[in-house]
Amino acid sequence: MISVVEVYNAIKDMANQDQKGFVTPQIFNSFAAAAQNTVFAKIADKMVGAKNLRLRGGDLAESDSILVKYKNFMSNYEKTVDLTQESDGASDTTVFASGDEVNTSAIRKPNDVYSIISIFDGDPDTGHKNFELVYNTRDMARILRSNLSAPTAEFPVALISNNIEIFPDDDAVSETIKMTYYRVPTSRTIIGVGSLAAGSVDPVASPVIATVANSDSIDIRNSRNFDLPLDMFPDLMEEIAGMIGVNLRDAFLVKAAPKVVKK
């Protein structure tokens, strides 16, 4: 993960060299979360681009594969949770198809969902069943009207919208349904005083530079690192520098980024 202290110090030095004024921790913090979200979206886009490159036969093999590289990046954000009525506070919903009532359950998405990977029945007694994911209510209506494609306990379907609707009713499928998804990036704790290594994920905090009260000294314990892979350091620097208005052609950026990535 990327050290918030190293990024802050580099941005501060760049701003001084480019005569953009002194970058305070408060100014830096106001840009940090937005910059991280932009860089994270680039990772997801690059993984899609790498898949297209693989289909055209232009990707490298095994550990040198660009697709494998970005899949490894995104694996840091994979999360699996129980998707049940009780744990997520679902509300019962009735859907109408061809004049008939179809029972289903609407389940709230977790707050940190970026993209849903899969929904599956995790009950070992009934066997592993993957849900067909549908993202369009018109397509869902056609599925419900069809005698051939209507959802059953053996072939369940999930409609992904503002909520998640399970067809048929989750009681007919399994008592425990699980969902795997990519979470949105948050921040990482900093291990120990004086250490800039990334620790565990902080699910509620954004990357932040904290300072000691009545002092300009950095408070390492209450600061939070970026929740991004180290390889994305140049992209993160470019994003924050652009928000502040630093000249991106500054030779300092060219020199600083590779040194940090190589650490």
Q: What is the pLDDT of residue 176?
A: 76
d(CA 157, CA 131): 5
Do residues 91 and 123 share a domain? yes
Across-strand partners of 113? 183
Do residues 67 and 193 share a domain? yes
Do residues 101 and 20 share a domain? no
d(CA 82, CA 166): 13
242 pLDDT above the threshold of 90? no
Do residues 108 and 46 share a domain? no
pLDDT band at 84 (very low <50, low <70, confident <90, very high): low
Closest CA to 210 of 190, 231, 229, 228: 190
Do residues 161 and 255 share a domain? no
Do residues 88 and 173 share a domain? yes
Please state, rounded to an integer, the average pLDDT across all residues of the chain: 78
Query: Which pair of tokens denotes residue 90?
Result: 């679902």
Do residues 106 and 223 share a domain? no
**pLDDT cut 90: percent of the chain above it:** 25
Boundary of a domain, candidates 162, 182, 202: 182
257 pLDDT above the threshold of 80? no
Do residues 156 and 111 share a domain? yes
Select the highest-mean-pLDDT range: 38-47, 63-72, 210-219: 38-47
175-184, 192-201, 222-231: least confident range: 192-201
Provide the number of structural domains found in the chain.
Answer: 2
Task: Give the range of the structural domain holding residue 13, as residue numbers without chain letter.
Answer: 4-77+185-262
Do residues 71 and 107 share a domain? no
Residues 223 and 209 sit within 8 Å (Cβ to Cβ)? yes
Do residues 71 and 198 share a domain? yes
**pLDDT cut 70: percent of the chain above it:** 76
Other beta carbons within 10 angstroms of residue 163's beta carbon come to 15
Do residues 171 and 192 share a domain? no
Residues 137 and 160 sit within 8 Å (Cβ to Cβ)? no
pLDDT band at 1 (very low <50, low <70, confident <90, very high): confident
pLDDT band at 217 (very low <50, low <70, confident <90, very high): confident
Q: Is the peptide bond before 168 cis (omega within 30 degrees of 0)?
A: yes
236 pLDDT above the threshold of 90? yes
Boundary of a domain, candidates 182, 210, 225: 182
Do residues 111 and 161 share a domain? yes
Q: What is the pLDDT of residue 91?
A: 39
Boundary of a domain, candidates 132, 147, 182: 182
